[in-house]
A = this chain, B = another copy of it.
């Protein structure tokens, strides 16, 4: 999808090894964003940005997303305080994905369930041979019920 903010993609060589930032948005106008902790390298979450959210992120140094479920802009941490201060932005060979290295403000957690990372569960085989999710290895950083009440 062509963005109204960023230049359209050039030829393969330019996109893959050039110096012009030509992010490719999918047919819904979105690009996948992998967020990692700048200190530990841990993957914290995957979000989606449209061109305006990506522009805001670059300009403000704080991560903005497009919420696919709510169909609205979403500044991470606006209510939770878990603001993502951007340390580094990377893109991949075909410029259709973004890596954001961030420092997280507030209580330092990223996941609304209370864990440091949204990827707090491993996919494992049970003793019975079934594919299940293991109980988290780590403790939660906070209990969302204590802050937001029962939901």
Contacts and interface: CB of A to CB of B under 8 A. Distances in A.
Interface of A: 16-21, 32, 34, 36, 40-43, 45-46, 58, 88-93, 97-99, 111-113, 115, 118-123, 131-135
B121 A46 contact: no
Contacts of A98: 123
B122 A93 contact: no
Nearest to A42: B41
Contacts of A91: 119, 121, 123, 133
A121 B15 CA distance: 11
A119 to B, nearest CB: 4
A21 B133 CA distance: 6
A20 B120 CA distance: 14
6 contacts: A16-B113, A17-B113, A18-B133, A36-B43, A43-B43, A90-B123
Nearest to A57: B123
B123 A89 contact: yes
Contacts of A89: 122-123
Given A32-B32, A58-B131, A99-B119, A92 B21 contact: no
Contact of A90 (B17, B93, B121): B121
